[in-house]
Amino acid sequence: MVVRAVRGAVQLERDEAGHMDEQVGALLTAILERNSLTTDDLISIWFTATPDLHSDFPAAAARKLGIVDVPLICAQELDIEGAMPRVVRVLAHIESDRPRADIAHVYLGAAAALRKDIAQ
């Protein structure tokens, strides 16, 4: 097995804990499914959230999905003028035999505009 990194992001419609859980949960589920991963393949996950998100920690959504024995950390994204609002980003470190070019990075909804070069 090789260590790989998977990127992803989702833009929330509103800053509410339940909505964050739903959207971040959908993002993590899509990352796992599109890369044929299980939680045992996860090494760690970094979450960042734009400064306008205050309702909950994105990592809480991962715990609710059953990702309980994987190190998770949350941080605030840079506050850049003109940046897309209400965005949660993910950087997951995984164990996978897939070549780097075959890793599916997942950008849901409007967040697909963030990385048109790698969004699948």
Smallest Cα–Cα separation from 44: which of 92, 104, 100?
92
Catalytic residue among 4, 13, 98, 107: 107
Distance CA 11, CA 119 (A): 14
Per the annotation, the verdict on 107 as an active-site residue is yes
Which segments of 1-120 does DSSP mark as H helices, in order? 17-34, 58-64
Catalytic residue among 86, 89, 98, 100: 89
Catalytic residue among 14, 33, 63, 95: 63
Catalytic residue among 22, 34, 74, 98: 74
Catalytic residue among 77, 81, 95, 98: 77
* β-strand pairing of 106-108 with 72-76: unpaired
Per the annotation, the verdict on 4 as an active-site residue is no
Catalytic residue among 7, 16, 22, 86: 7
Per the annotation, the verdict on 7 as an active-site residue is yes
Please report the sign of the dihedral spanned by the C-alpha atoms of residue 44, residue 35, residue 5, residue 92: negative
Per the annotation, the verdict on 77 as an active-site residue is yes
Per the annotation, the verdict on 34 as an active-site residue is no
Catalytic residue numbers, as ranges: 7, 63, 74, 77, 89, 107, 115
